[in-house]
Amino acid sequence: MMIDRDGIARPGTPERRILDEIRPEGLPRHVAMIMDGNGRWAEARNLPRVQGHRAGAQAVRTTLETAARLGIEVITLYAFSTENWKRPKLEVRALWALLKEFIDSQLDTFKKNNLRFQTIGDLERLDPSVRKYLDRARHVTRDCTGTLVQIALNYSGRHELTRVIRAAVTDATQGLLEPEMIDEAWIAQHLDTAGRPDPDLLIRTSGEQRISNFLLWQIAYSEIYFTKVLWPDFGTTEFLEAIRVYQQRDRRFGGLTDTVPPGGNPVQT
Ligand code: IPE
Ligand code: IPE
Ligand code: MG
């Protein structure tokens, strides 16, 4: 896969210098992002928190465009956690309205950049009008073969695992599942992320150094990159820098450097 270097950054710019250090053969296949800090970004400007989320949506656009041009296989974005329902009703409502707006304004760009839209998380609790937008986004982009964009909505890792265990017990009581049939591959196939590689790189913005219930199973061997930059300020330079740092890490997967196949993740199921 060739990197569209000129499409990402003009020669001579600081981001181009970072980009030129990035090796196409060692790119992460899957990058997951905890997009945090929208509220603090707004508060620092004396703006309502919602304006921070709006600015955050712009950062999503930039990030997806860069991901497409780098040729990243999968991007997973934590947009709304199962715990985020605890926020004031007004903010929650604004977040779902923004998601609809984002889909409306971005579907053409998704097609143009060959991005495929998907979701992870429990959509049952979402408003039917939101689900309609999600269905449309999935439908319109279903034949796109470039970067797969998974938006995590009403998602949490524990909730996802709970749903898997429930499904297993249901199958077992119907005689469809024996204990020996459950192994790591079986579990991976029943997660919302079934069929996709585990994240190689997990990025969290805003300076918080925690996972906040994101992709608990899948990040077993992900490289984690924390940055103090608030999500609305996360641009091409920050994304490229995270990838550059990632490429300097020595991923051992519990073995020794020599035994790890190049670019390979042996725990992958
Ligand atoms: C992340 O930004 C976006 C969502 C959780 C939806 P926050 O809204 O958490 O921003 P901070 O952490 O309050 O700054
Ligand atoms: C994590 O951010 C969830 C998303 C980015 C959607 P939060 O702001 O909800 O996480 P905590 O509360 O700081 O752990
Ligand atoms: Mg936050």
Q: Using the predicted structure, report yes or no on whether residue 126 has a pLDDT greater than 60.
A: yes
| Closest-CA residue to 7 (of 239, 243, 236, 241) | 236
Decide if pLDDT at 265 tops 70: no
Smallest-distance ligand from the CA of 91:
1
Question: Which atom, in ligand 2's list, is nearest to the CA of 39?
Answer: 8
Q: Is the dihedral of CA 237, 32, 52, 40 positive or negative?
A: negative
Could you report the per-residue pLDDT of 33-67, keeping only the tens digit for each?
Answer: 999 999 999 999 999 999 999 999 999 999 999 99
Pick from 4-8, 192-196, 252-256 the range whose average pLDDT is largest: 192-196
Half-sphere exposure of residue 36, counting CA atoms within 13 Å on the CB side?
A: 19
CA of 128 to the centre of ligand 2 (A): 24
Minimal-distance CA residue to ligand 2 atom 1: 212
**What is the reported pLDDT for 107?**
97
pLDDT at 263 (0 to 100) = 58
Q: Is the pLDDT of residue 1 over 90?
A: no
Catalytic residue among 4, 6, 20, 36: 36
DSSP 8-state secondary structure symbol assigned to residue 82: G
pLDDT score of 261: 62
Mean pLDDT computed over 126-151: 98
pLDDT at residue 3, rounded to an integer: 87
Written as one letter, the residue type at 200 is D
Interval 193-238: pLDDT, tens: 999 999 999 999 999 999 999 999 999 999 999 999 999 999 999 9
Q: Where are the alpha helices (DSSP H) in the chain?
A: 5-8, 14-19, 38-43, 49-70, 89-112, 128-140, 157-173, 184-190, 236-248
For ligand 1, which residues put their CB under 6 angstroms from it? 35-40, 80, 84, 95, 206, 231
Percentage of the chain lying above the pLDDT 70 cut: 96
Count of Cβ atoms closer than 10 Å to residue 92 Cβ:
14
113 is catalytic: no
What token pair was written down for 220? 């077993």
Considering all CA atoms of the chain, what is the largest pairwise distance in Å, rounded to the nearest integer? 64
- Closest ligand 1 atom to the C-alpha of 79? 6
Q: Are strands 74-81 and 116-120 parallel, antiparallel or unpaired?
A: unpaired
pLDDT at 269: 47
Tokens coding 36: 């945090």
| Ligand number nearest to the C-alpha of 92 | 1
pLDDT at position 44, please?
98
Q: What is the model's pLDDT at position 2? A: 78
Instruction: List the residue whose alpha carbon is closest to atom 10 of ligand 2.
Output: 212
Check residue 216 and give left, alpha or beta (phi > 0: left; psi -120 to 50: alpha).
Answer: alpha
**Model's pTM, two decimal places?**
0.96
Structure tokens at 88: 């004031």
User: Mean pLDDT, to the nearest integer, of 244-254?
Assistant: 95
CA of 79 to the centre of ligand 1 (A): 9
pLDDT of residue 267: 60
Q: Which residues line ligand 2 at a C-beta cut-off of 6 Å? A: 34-36, 78-81, 84, 208, 210, 212
Stretch 8-17: mean pLDDT, rounded?
A: 94
Arithmetic mean of pLDDT, 246-264 = 82
Q: What is the mean pLDDT of the chain?
A: 95
Across 84-95, average pLDDT: 98
Neighbouring residues of 139: CB distance < 8 A, sequence distance ≥ 6: none
